[in-house]
Amino acid sequence: MNIFIYGLNFKARREDLIELFSPYGEVTSARIIINRDTHRSRGYGFVEMSSDEAGNAAIAALNGTEHMGRVINVAVANERPPKKEE
């Protein structure tokens, strides 16, 4: 299950997301989106969990909670639209 997290502290790192989500199941990947120009966090990211059960448990437990001094929002990520062919 792919999970979208926003409202992240700009100092949060990939390892912080792994540590936050690991109690709910296996984290297969985690990434924080970076601004290309400034190379700083944009305040959101994605976590992929090995099962829907683990993902749903993490969403239920973490949505609206405080992490690193900021309230985070956690939800199922939307499917990425296919790229347009030129």
Q: What is the CATH number of the domain that holds 32?
A: 3.30.70.330
49 in a domain, yes or no? yes
7 in a domain, yes or no? yes
Host domain of residue 65: 2-76
The separation between CA 30 and the C-alpha centre of its own chain, rounded to angstroms, equals: 7
82 in a domain, yes or no? no
Rg (CA), the chain: 13
Number of domains, the chain: 1
81 in a domain, yes or no? no
22 in a domain, yes or no? yes
> In the predicted model, is pLDDT for residue 84 greater than 80?
no
- What band does 16 get if pLDDT is binned at 50, 70 and 90? very high
pLDDT digits (tens, 9 = 90+) for 30-76: 999 999 999 999 999 999 999 999 999 999 999 999 999 999 999 99
Instruction: Please give the helix or strand (H or E) that residue 66 lies within, else none.
Output: strand 66-67
50 in a domain, yes or no? yes
- What band does 81 get if pLDDT is binned at 50, 70 and 90? low
Confidence at residue 78, expressed as pLDDT on a 0 to 100 scale: 87
65 in a domain, yes or no? yes
Q: Considering only CA atoms, which of 6, 55, 15, 67 is closest in space to residue 33? A: 6
**C-alpha span between 33 and 44 (Å, rounded):** 6
